[in-house]
Chains A and B, each alone.
Chain A
Amino acid sequence: MTLTRTHLDQLENQSIFIFREAYHAFKNIAMPWSMGKDSNVLIWLARKSFFGKVPFPVLHIDTTYEFPEMLEFREWAAKHYKLNLIVKINTEARNRGVGYETHDPVTVTHELKTVALQQALTEYRWDALITGIRRDEDPTRAKERYFSPRNAQFEWDYKDQPPEFWGQFATTAAKGEHVRVQPLLDWTEVDVWRYIQRENIPIPKMYFARSGKRFRSLGCSPITHPIASTASTIDEIIAELEATRTSERAGRAQDYHERNAMQKLRAKGFL
């Protein structure tokens, strides 16, 4: 190993630093895990930080509209990585009949993801959640901090965020509050792919093109659409991303249902 560090090395080092600060600062941490590419990079970085171990529970918010391949991947990874996996379904909303068949995507996403997460937080009383959001995904995420407090109502006060400098973060949560810890904040979509390639990180096969289509971003099956693509290897995906100027979440219907949908979802606690 030489003394020079690449851009990916620097990103990795910074993420590990954040993981370890969070693990020290909070008593009761969990890491939401969607089985998507960013999520799997997050698990990998946790293992980097803690020398092979993921020392906190991993939470899957199961909307019951998951792609079967994603669930298969979940079972495989949970065993392979020896994860303490918690699966949470908002059964109350499902019993009320909330679903894509009858409701609009913003309502369903809110009920089956955000409310389910709130239910899990109430049940397990986590004081910090480690999430895989990145600044480049969406304009509202550009303003995030590495450590971003959420109040008891789950709201993100983006107008009055704590200062963050010199490696010092907001590491205290009042009762009922929690802190979102975001180690991938500085990563871009291409960085994530290059890292998956370099580290050989297992990811669901749905990201790779089959019969002219592939998924660029993965969510609930009824509202997530594949893009036209022939990229069947990571190299081809990176080449495709470098040529495209379409945004990553273009295939995610809930973002476009109404103007400012993403902002509304996020202010209410969506990741």
Chain B
Amino acid sequence: MIEQPSSSTDTNSKLRVVFVGHVDHGKSTLIGRILQDTGSLPEGKVEMVKKACAAEGMEFEFAFLLDALLEEQKQNVTIDTTQIPFRTVRRRYAIIDAPGHKEFLKNMITGASNADGAILVIAASEGVREQSRRHAYLLGLLGIKQVIVVVNKMDLVDFSETRFHEIESEYRMFLVDLGLEGRCFIPASAKSGDNVAHRGKKLNWYQGPTVLEALDALETHRADVDFPLRFCVQDVYRFDDRRIIAGRIETGKLRVGDQLVFSPANKSSVVATIERWNAPANGPAVAGDSIGVTLSEQIFVERGYVASHESETPIETNRFHADLFWIVREPLLLGHPYDLRLATQDVKCEIVSIEEVMDSSTLETNSDKRERLERNEVGKLTVQTRGPLVIDNHDRIPNLGRFVLVDGGQICGGGIIFGGVYTDRQVTKSKNIFWSEGKITALARAARSGHRGAVIWFTGLSGAGKSTIAQALERELFHRAMHTYVLDGDNIRHGLNSNLGFSPEDRVASK
């Protein structure tokens, strides 16, 4: 039994570790063993599961602890992602258990997406299998770089050193191809407990760390605070006389007095106060903080806006490249309208082209012309959004470089953005563009034309006859030798407003 840490450890953050691997390679057993050997199981739980096992006429296994729902025990597969806490002397952990079954990819992504590191389990008896590779590929895509490989079920191969090294060399090469780093390869038997919390007597040819030692050597990934500031607006509240812009700092730091640029409007203002309830006022905010700010100069801000510092602005675009994985049965179709959600932004989009499709198990790519992406496939593709989108490249700021596609209210896939080009907005906006004063005055124009200038605005419901009246009026003015031109809303949509459609939101924007 591992000594329990003192309560002061609880103020530190916990490390989240996702457990992945091929079905039946022993993930759940390994988790059960870790919980048992760290004394993390509440008394009631083991008893409850033992009783349930007896009632079903089954032998008790650690895996059942996690598969607490009766139906799961019957099917003998882990159904969904669970989060289970445990502690070592060094720190606290949350285990994220991901299912091995192929059709449950979305649960694995749910579990793995916020992990700090991963344990990938391979059964020594079966070796590297399809999901051993697919899961590693997805870990890479989700940005999880620290991977511990546990070669489990060593008891089934007589604790053979040769077998272990075979698997290690095959899989290490595969990880290198993915740009992942296998922190260490550990021969173990979760069933008997060898090399999990304690050294395995039959594995004394192995000198490396046990599973718990390897976990304790992982680093908490918290570089977010060192990235450029991205404050994503969730809402603007007016519960009292304050107008509070509420949101979360995704990356970077924010202080009172900072000059912020809000994208996509590109308006700037200064932070007057940082608002928190029942907490010290105006303390600096860092990545992860859910805060509110008030601005010294009121500018239009709404949900979806992203605030940054002037020197490190994000990209504003309506077209970009992404690697996208698809997790639902209905395939992704070119030209189909999807909702794209990125941080708090939500815009309509469509896929313009699929450049390449990758099989996430074999890593083989296929560049034939494709018009759809099937479930479990990963594609390199080009996305076009209806309105401007604020993004970062995933390798620069992950939080603003990833998005989901939603169809009919359902999250269908996730993508990471690459290849976007950053422009210096300070220079283009404030230094290179000047208002050019014309030399001909309005008075001179009126004298030459014989009439002064005017704009006549026709408003009314769609189909009320605005265009008809405008054209009749134009003809009348033209006959009187006056200079005239009709700016019809529909015509403007051919050029300036070509990205607007006729949905209610688009109609508002087109005014």
What is A's interface to B at a CB cutoff of 8 Å? 1, 3, 5-10, 12-14, 16-17, 20-21, 23-24, 44, 47-53, 55, 135-136, 139-140, 142-143, 145, 158-159, 161-168, 170-172, 174, 186, 188, 190, 194, 199, 238, 242, 245-247, 250, 259-260, 263
Contact = CB atoms under 8 A, between A and B. Distances in A.
28 contacts: A1-B280, A1-B284, A7-B12, A7-B92, A8-B11, A9-B288, A17-B290, A20-B235, A49-B246, A49-B290, A50-B237, A51-B239, A51-B242, A51-B244, A51-B277, A139-B45, A140-B69, A142-B84, A159-B71, A159-B79, A159-B80, A163-B327, A164-B411, A165-B110, A166-B402, A166-B403, A170-B409, A246-B43
Contacts of A238: 7
Interface string B271-315: 000011111100110101110100000000001000000000000
A47 B279 CA distance: 12
Interface string B1-32: 00010010011111000000000000000000
B397 interface: no
B341 interface: yes
Contacts of B113: 165-166
A6 B85 contact: no
Contacts of B106: 162-163
Given A7-B12, A23-B235, A165-B114, 14 more contacts: A5-B13, A7-B10, A20-B234, A20-B235, A24-B303, A49-B290, A53-B239, A136-B85, A142-B84, A165-B414, A167-B343, A168-B341, A247-B43, A250-B44
Contact of B42 (A7, A44, A145, A245): A245
Contact of A163 (B107, B225, B234, B284): B107
Nearest to A161: B80
Interface residues of B, number: 74
Contacts of B468: none
Nearest to B105: A163
Contacts of B410: 162, 170
A231 B248 CA distance: 38
A149 to B, nearest CB: 9
Contacts of A44: 278
A9 B114 CA distance: 17
Residue of A13, A48, A55, A259 contacting most chain B CB atoms (<10 Å): A13
B409 A172 contact: yes
Given A3-B225, A51-B237, A263 B70 contact: yes
A23 B414 CA distance: 24
Contacts of B114: 165
Which 8 A-B pairs have CB atoms at the shortest separation, nearest pair first? A1-B283, A139-B68, A172-B409, A165-B113, A16-B290, A163-B106, A247-B44, A142-B82
B51 interface: yes
Contact of A51 (B43, B275, B280): B275
A55 B277 CA distance: 15
A6 B92 CA distance: 13
B280 A142 contact: no
Contacts of B286: 3, 5
Residue of B225, B246, B403 contacting most chain A CB atoms (<10 Å): B246
Given A163-B411, A167-B343, A245 B41 contact: yes
B51 A259 contact: yes
Nearest to A171: B409
Contacts of B341: 168
B55 interface: yes
B110 A20 contact: no
A210 B301 CA distance: 53
Contacts of B290: 12-14, 16-17, 20, 49
Given A13-B289, A238-B7, A188 B42 contact: no
B234 A17 contact: yes
B289 A5 contact: yes
Contacts of A10: 13, 288
B80 A247 contact: no
Contacts of B363: none
B10 A162 contact: no
A188 B283 CA distance: 27
Residue of B280, B399, B404 contacting most chain A CB atoms (<10 Å): B404
Contact of B278 (A9, A143, A165, A199): A199
Interface string B66-96: 0011110000000111111100000010100
B109 interface: yes
B91 to A, nearest CB: 10
A17 B248 contact: yes
Nearest to B75: A159
A105 to B, nearest CB: 18
Contacts of B79: 143, 158-159
Contacts of A163: 106-107, 109-110, 327, 411
Nearest to B43: A245
A142 B248 CA distance: 26
A24 B235 contact: yes
Contacts of B51: 259
B239 A170 contact: no
Contacts of B303: 24
Nearest to B416: A166
Interface in B119-138: none
A246 B47 CA distance: 11
A78 B2 CA distance: 46
B500 interface: no
Contacts of B292: 51
Given A24-B303, A163-B107, A165-B114, A48 B42 contact: no
B327 A190 contact: no
A142 B239 CA distance: 35
B45 A247 contact: yes
B277 A47 contact: yes
Contacts of B81: 143
Contacts of B10: 7, 190, 194
